[in-house]
Amino acid sequence: MEFRHLGRSGLKISEITYGNWITHGSQVTDDLAIKTMQAAMDAGITTFDTADVYAATKAEEVMGKALKGQRRESLEIFTKVYWPTGEGVNDRGLSRKHIMESCENSLRRLQTDYVDLYQAHRYDYETPLEETLRAFDDLVRQGKVLYVGVSEWTAEQIRDAVRIASDMGFDRIVSNQPQYNMLWRVIEAEVVPASEELGIGQIVWSPIAQGVLTGKYKIGAPAPQGSRATDTSSGANFVARWLNDPVLAAVEKLEPIAKDMNLTMSQLAIAWVLSNPNVSAAIVGASRPEQITENAQAAGVTLAADVLSAIDYALGDLVSTDPALTVSPEIRP
């Protein structure tokens, strides 16, 4: 396993980070989830990402069980706050009330005294940014949070947060967690340049585009049994936008590129994400231990310039690059 600094902070994290969105607490049994997380640790992964909203809070509970008994100082545990976790009008958003209450609940479910990174899961238009940043800073001063990050924020929102934090003497933001992969590059035009300037690292999710970049989905063929496209409760909604003939045909063109490098398709996709120097880690989920074992082998892989060019040529104009596609709900969900 290789390790990278999280932005310009002193914290190092495993460049392959394990995430349990969708899978844990819903798609797979707890026993299988725990075995898969153990396989991640066996592969050298030390960084684990979750959120209070995943599987209606159950994902944090599963992660807490899986990591219990491990040396806490050897792990980096990340979670998030914003999306609804209850029926109350304040059980959502980035108000001081919800942040403080959600953090306490996350710590209890994760069975830990602190999280290494606490992230604003979206931007909250209904809460003054100063209120959100002060609550985060108070958690840092209390020792319950070591670092602060955001997720799916625009470059302007990130700049505003860094400026306010600096003016008010708050702990600064060190990370952003956006979607990023060969097909979805909307952070490259604005978010990445701003982040490089401000010392913020990207912890990217969906590096294999919900499984599409593995090549397992084929034109005219049914989705493989047990794949995300068959998970009608959640996963299918996220992968559907890429399950069309032009995208699947383009992905097929990536197969000889991966083969020439002795990589699997998923390893090629993860290595591509990690080729961006502003990326601190790629979040990889798994429903079986062998999946995370395979994906972890993308650590340390270097893609030459001609390989990157070949990937661009294969995907052509199917790549999404518009920075305006980074959005948060204008009204709390």
Q: Which active-site residues does the annotation give?
A: 54
Residue 48 backbone dihedrals phi, psi, to 5 degrees: -130, 130
Assess contact for 116 and 146: CB atoms under 8 A. Answer: yes
Q: Tell me the one-letter amino acid at 137.
A: D
17 token code pair: 């980070």
Cα Rg of the chain (Å, integer):
19
Strand segments, DSSP code E, in 6-114 are 12-14, 16-19, 47-49, 76-81
At 203, which helix (H) or strand (E)?
A: strand 201-204
CA dihedral defined by 261, 263, 268, 271, rounded to 10 degrees?
A: -90
- Nearest C-alpha neighbor of 79 from the set 107, 99, 51, 60: 51
- Nearest C-alpha neighbor of 280 from the set 205, 225, 182: 205
Q: Tell me the one-letter amino acid at 119.
A: Q
For residue 98, the number of C-alpha atoms closer than 13 Å in the C-beta half-sphere is: 26
Classify 200 as helix, strand or coil: coil
Residue 268 backbone dihedrals phi, psi, to 5 degrees: -60, -45
CA 298 to chain centroid: 16
Quick one: the chain helix, strand, coil %, rounded to 5?
45, 15, 40
Q: How far apart are CA 50 and CA 331, in angstroms?
A: 23
Under DSSP, the state recorded for 215 is T
